[in-house]
Amino acid sequence: MAALFDELGGFAAVSRIVSDFYDRVLDSDILAPYFDDVDMRRLVDHQTKFIASMLGGPASYSNEALRQIHARLNIDRAAFDAMKEQLGASLLAHGVSPRDVTNVIADIEARAGYVITRN
């Protein structure tokens, strides 16, 4: 995956992917309510680093940090799955191969237990 981060163009490309992702998220009836009163600039910055790490970039987030960040958000499986769908669409729209998208989404799914806080 490290080559994927570099292949896509580093942080600048990941930032474009994340911006596209949040455009999609904010248009989603399921996901948009989670972002009321959120500083989107700050969130895009953090998410860019997180997605960069998923693509093999230099940033990294621990599972415990993911748990702490999402603990108060009351996220359910439907919202988590909708997020994965929007992320996959954004990755594909920016030239990430279907195989690599599948790998990134699998990495995200592996962290579901740290993000989903409501049954």
In terms of pTM, does the model score above 0.95? no
Distances (CA, A) of 74 to 17, 71, 98, 119: 25, 7, 30, 9
Residue-wise pLDDT tens digits, 1-16: 558 899 999 999 999 9
Pick one of 3.40.50.150, 1.10.490.10, 3.40.50.740, 3.30.470.30 as the CATH number of 2-115: 1.10.490.10
Count Cβ atoms within 10 A of the Cβ of residue 29 and give its class: 0-12 exposed, 13-18 middle, 19 or more buried.
Answer: exposed
Alpha helices by DSSP H, listed for 27-96, are 40-54, 63-70, 77-93
Q: How far is CA 97 from CA 8, 63, 89, in A?
A: 11, 26, 11
Q: What is the pLDDT of residues 19-62, one digit of tens each?
A: 999 999 999 999 999 999 899 999 999 899 989 988 888 877 78
Give me the residue spans of the domains in the chain: 2-115
